[in-house]
Structure formats: C-alpha cells, structure tokens
Amino acid sequence: MGTTMPAGGPTQDEIMAISLFKLGLLPEDCLLDLGCGTGKISRAAASLVKQVCAVDRRQDAIRYAKEQAEATGLTNIEFFCGDALDYVTTDRTFDCAFVGGSRGIVDVLPRLATQVRRTIVVNAVLVRTVNTVVETMQQLGIFREAIHVQVSRSQGIGGSIMFKPIDPVYIIVGSGTAC
C-alpha cells in the first residue's frame, strides 16, 4: 500500500450511494468507470456487477486504484491508463457508464451514448460542467435528470454537534442507446 492517494480524493459515500442507485446496476452488467481516480466507485460496483472497466489518464491514480482493488481481493476490475476519449473509441459495449471526470466530456458523451445500453451517470462539481453535460445530453436526446446533492456531516462543537457541509455535487443521468 505504498502509493499515495491521487489528487481529488475519493467520492463521498453518500454521493457514491446515489450514483450507484441511479446507474441501476445488475449482476450480469459490465460497467465503464471513466475518470476512476481512487477507484472507489469501481470497487463498490465490482461487488454488484460481473465486470468493471476503470479508466483514468493519471498513472498515479491507476496505480492507487489497482492497489486498493488488490487489497480487497477484487478480481473483476480491469484498469486502463489513458484518456477517456481514446478508450471510448473502441468497439466495446457497456451496460452502464459512470463518469467522474469532465475532461473532454463534450466529445466523450456522443460515443458513450452509442456504447452504453442503459444508463450513463456523470458526477460534476462545477456549474459549467453541469451546463455542458445537460446541454450535450439534451442534444443527443439522452438526458433524463440532473440532481443537486448537498451533504452535511455532524461534528462535535461545544459539547453538542453542528453540521458541517461538504461541497455540493451534481449527478446527471442519461440513457444509453446501444442495442
């Protein structure tokens, strides 16, 4: 466990729970995780699906995600280091896709729309990204919904508790069109 956690940190548990629910994963599914970062979504999904393909452009992220998967005994995750657009230009089809990064999203979404059979979920923290993803999905005819999620966690203060907010996340859901 020598690799340092990559920048950006893991997806918060509450955001992950909603995102996985919106994906609607089934036991025989193959999930594509673009911008997998720490691999937290990939690892959580691996216990729910047949296979996960995790992609990130950062070598340190892939190294860390692989180490974490190996440490928990997961063997159904394939890791790929490279740009999302390079990966989605393959002829492979997926049941669902989770997108945790926004780099090149305008070019990635049209490919995902044709490679994903059921559901595409994009997590975003920037309003600009939300706008871009929603508009692109609408143009492609695959937009379902956008959700704004604000989570606050309890924290002790003065013998009582307060709730400390975590940065909001937007979850955008679309439909794949692959047959």
Q: What is the pLDDT of residues 114-162, one digit of tens each?
A: 999 999 999 999 999 999 999 999 999 999 999 999 999 999 999 999 9
**Cβ contact 18:47 at 8 Å:** no
Mean pLDDT lowest for which of 23-37, 81-95, 108-122, 131-145? 81-95
Per the domain annotation, does 119 fall within a domain?
Answer: yes
Report the domain count for the chain: 1
Output the CA–CA distances (angstroms, integers) from residue 158 to 80, 120, 152, 162, 164, in the order listed.
48, 44, 18, 9, 14
What are the φ/ψ torsions at residue 34 (nearest 5 degrees)?
-90, 130
How confident is the model over 10-27, as a mean pLDDT? 95
Per the domain annotation, does 36 fall within a domain?
Answer: yes
First to last CA, the chain: 41
Higher local confidence (pLDDT), 158 or 176: 158
**Cβ contact 128:102 at 8 Å:** no
Output the CA–CA distances (angstroms, integers) from residue 47 to 10, 123, 134, 171, 178, in the order listed.
18, 21, 30, 22, 24
Per the domain annotation, does 5 fall within a domain?
Answer: no
Q: What is the pLDDT of residue 9?
A: 67
Higher local confidence (pLDDT), 46 or 3: 46
Per the domain annotation, does 6 fall within a domain?
Answer: no
Strands lying side by side in the sheet with 143-149: 77-81, 51-56, 30-34, 94-99, 116-124, 169-175, 143-149
- In a 13 Å sphere around the CA of 109, the CA atoms on its Cβ side amount to 28
**Cβ contact 104:84 at 8 Å:** yes
pLDDT level of residue 86 (50, 70, 90 thresholds): confident
Q: Which domain holds residue 29?
A: 13-175
Q: Is the pTM of this model over 0.85?
A: yes
Per the domain annotation, does 52 fall within a domain?
Answer: yes
Per the domain annotation, does 8 fall within a domain?
Answer: no
- Beta strand ranges found along 10-151 (DSSP E): 30-34, 51-56, 77-81, 94-99, 116-124, 143-149
Q: What is the pLDDT of residue 11?
A: 87
Per the domain annotation, does 71 fall within a domain?
Answer: yes
Rounded to the nearest angstrom, the gap between the alpha carbon of residue 21 and the centroid of all alpha carbons in its chain is 12
Per the domain annotation, does 2 fall within a domain?
Answer: no
pLDDT over 60 (residue 1): no
pLDDT level of residue 179 (50, 70, 90 thresholds): low
